Structure 1
Amino acid sequence: MAEAASQGRKLTFLERFSYGGGDLGYSLAYNMAGAFLLFYYTDVVRLPAEAVGTIFLVARLLDAVIDPLFGIAVDKTRTRWGRTRPYFLFTAVPYALVFIAVFHVPDMAQGWQLAYAFVTFKLLGILLSAGSIPYTALMPMMTLDTQERLKLGGARSVGTSISVILGTAATMPLVAVFGGDDLQAGFTWTTLVFAAISLVALILLFRNCRERFEDKAVASDFKAFPAIMQMVRNRAWLVCFSFCLLYFIRFGVMLGLTIFFAKDVIGKPWLIPVMLPMVSGGLLIAAFIAPPILARTGIRAGCVAAIAVSLVLFAFMALIDSAADWQLAGIGVPPLLFPYFLFSITTSITITAIFTMAAESVDYHQSKHGVRYEGLLSSGISVSTKVGMAVGSALAAYVLAFAAYDPASVTDAARGDIRLAYYAVPSVMLILQAVAVLFWPMGGSKDITTGEGRTDWSDPAEGETA
Structure 2
Amino acid sequence: MKGNEQKISFVEKIGYSLGDLAANLIFQTLMTFLAFFYTDVYKIPPNIASTIIFVGGMTGAFFNPIMGIIADRTHTRWGKFRPWILWTSIPFGVMAMLAFRAPEYNLNGKIAYALITYILLVIIYSANNLPYASLSGVMTGSMKERNSISSYRFTAVMIAQFIVQSLLLPLVYILGDGNKTVGFEKAIMMFAIIGVVFFIITFLTTRERIHPKREQKTPIKEDLKDLFRNKPWFAMLLATIFIFITLSLKGGMYVYYFDNYLNAPSLQSFLNDVGFNSLITHLNKFLVSIGMHGFKWPDDPATSGFSIFNAIGIIMMIVGIGISKPMADTYGKRNVFGYSIVLSALTLVAFYFYSPSAIYLVFITQCIHGFFYGISTPLLWAMIADVADYSEWKNNRRATAIIFSAMIFGLKAGLSIGGALVAGILGFYGYNELLQEQSQQTVSGIQLAISLYPALTFLLAAASLFLYEIGKHKELQIQEDLEKRRS
Q: Same fold (TM over 0.5)?
A: yes
Deviations along 1:169-219, one digit per CA (max 9) or x if unpaired, are 111121122111211111111011111111121011000001011112575
Change (3 A) 1:258 1:426: same
Q: Which residue of 1 aligns with 2:77?
A: 80
Deviations along 1:377-415, one digit per CA (max 9) or x if unpaired, are 111110011110110111111110001101313111110
User: Which of 297, 300, 303 does residue 331 from structure 2 map onto?
Assistant: 297
Contact 2:352 2:452 in 1 (8 A): no
3-state SS of paired residue (1:141): coil
Equivalences for residues 55-74 of structure 1 within 5 A = 55-74=52-71
Equivalences for residues 167-316 of structure 1 within 5 A = 167-216=164-213, 222-268=218-264, 269=302, 270-316=304-350
3-state SS of paired residue (2:458): helix
Q: Which residue of 2 aligns with 1:460?
A: none
Q: Which residue of 1 aligns with 2:370?
A: 344
Q: Does 1:165 align with 2:191?
A: no
Using the TM superposition, name which of 305-314 and 132-141 deviates more: 305-314
Residue 245 of structure 1: how far off its partner (Å): 1.1
Residue 416 of structure 1: how far off its partner (Å): 0.8
CA RMSD of aligned residues (A): 1.9
Contact 2:22 2:195 in 1 (8 A): yes
3-state SS of paired residue (1:442): coil
Contact 2:384 2:404 in 1 (8 A): yes
Q: Does 1:392 align with 2:418?
A: yes
Deviations along 1:246-279, one digit per CA (max 9) or x if unpaired, are 1101001001111111110113413221223344
Q: Which amino acid aligns with 2:364?
A: F
Contact 1:317 1:340 in 2 (8 A): no
Structure 1: unaligned runs, 5 residues or longer: 458-466
- CA distance in structure 2 between the partners assigned to 1:141 and 1:312 by the alignment: 36
Q: Which amino acid aligns with 1:384?
A: G
Q: Which amino acid aligns with 2:388?
A: V
Contact 1:234 1:365 in 2 (8 A): yes
Change (3 A) 1:10 1:163: same
Change (3 A) 1:370 1:180: same
Contact 1:258 1:275 in 2 (8 A): no
3-state SS of paired residue (1:106): coil
- CA distance in structure 2 between the partners assigned to 1:111 and 1:192 by the alignment: 26
Q: Does 1:366 align with 2:392?
A: yes
Q: Which residue of 1 aligns with 2:12?
A: 15
Q: Which residue of 2 aligns with 1:461?
A: none
3-state SS of paired residue (1:335): helix
Q: Which amino acid aligns with 2:308?
A: V
Q: Which residue of 1 aligns with 2:479?
A: 454
- CA distance in structure 2 between the partners assigned to 1:96 and 1:143 by the alignment: 29
- CA distance in structure 2 between the partners assigned to 1:68 and 1:389 by the alignment: 17
- CA distance in structure 1 between the partners assigned to 2:102 and 2:92 by the alignment: 17
Q: Which residue of 1 aligns with 2:451?
A: 423
Equivalences for residues 315-326 of structure 1 within 5 A = 315-319=349-353, 321=354, 324=355, 326=356
Residue 317 of structure 1: how far off its partner (Å): 3.7
Change (3 A) 1:218 1:184: farther
Q: Which residue of 2 aligns with 1:150?
A: 147
- CA distance in structure 2 between the partners assigned to 1:90 and 1:59 by the alignment: 23
Q: Which amino acid aligns with 1:425?
A: Y
- CA distance in structure 1 between the partners assigned to 2:419 and 2:439 by the alignment: 22
Contact 1:157 1:352 in 2 (8 A): yes
Q: Which residue of 2 aligns with 1:432?
A: 460
Q: Which residue of 2 aligns with 1:442?
A: 470
Using the TM superposition, name which of 165-174 and 264-273 deviates more: 264-273
Contact 1:300 1:438 in 2 (8 A): no
Using the TM superposition, name which of 81-90 and 225-234 deviates more: 225-234
Contact 2:348 2:450 in 1 (8 A): no
Deviations along 1:344-398, one digit per CA (max 9) or x if unpaired, are 2212322211111111011100111111111111111100111101101111111
Q: Which residue of 2 aligns with 1:127?
A: 124
Change (3 A) 1:290 1:216: same
Contact 2:389 2:478 in 1 (8 A): no
Contact 1:257 1:422 in 2 (8 A): yes
- CA distance in structure 2 between the partners assigned to 1:84 and 1:10 by the alignment: 20
Contact 1:164 1:279 in 2 (8 A): no
Deviations along 1:66-111, one digit per CA (max 9) or x if unpaired, are 1111111111000111111111111001100110111102101110
- CA distance in structure 2 between the partners assigned to 1:174 and 1:88 by the alignment: 28
- CA distance in structure 2 between the partners assigned to 1:217 and 1:55 by the alignment: 44
Contact 1:155 1:287 in 2 (8 A): no
User: Which of 408, 412, 428 does residue 402 from structure 1 map onto?
Assistant: 428
Q: Which amino acid aligns with 2:329?
A: A
Q: Does 1:4 align with 2:2?
A: yes
- CA distance in structure 2 between the partners assigned to 1:314 and 1:105 by the alignment: 34
3-state SS of paired residue (1:256): helix
Contact 1:218 1:371 in 2 (8 A): no
Q: Which amino acid aligns with 2:461?
A: Q
Contact 2:147 2:378 in 1 (8 A): yes
Q: Which amino acid aligns with 1:267?
A: N
Q: Which residue of 2 aligns with 1:377?
A: 403
Residue 304 of structure 1: how far off its partner (Å): 2.6
Structure 2: unaligned runs, 5 residues or longer: 265-301, 483-487
- CA distance in structure 1 between the partners assigned to 2:215 and 2:367 by the alignment: 45
Residue 35 of structure 1: how far off its partner (Å): 1.0
Q: Percent identity?
A: 24
- CA distance in structure 2 between the partners assigned to 1:14 and 1:302 by the alignment: 28
Deviations along 1:3-61, one digit per CA (max 9) or x if unpaired, are 22455x42111111011111111121111121112111111111011111111111121
3-state SS of paired residue (1:429): helix
Deviations along 1:138-191, one digit per CA (max 9) or x if unpaired, are 112110001100001101111211111122111112112211121111111101
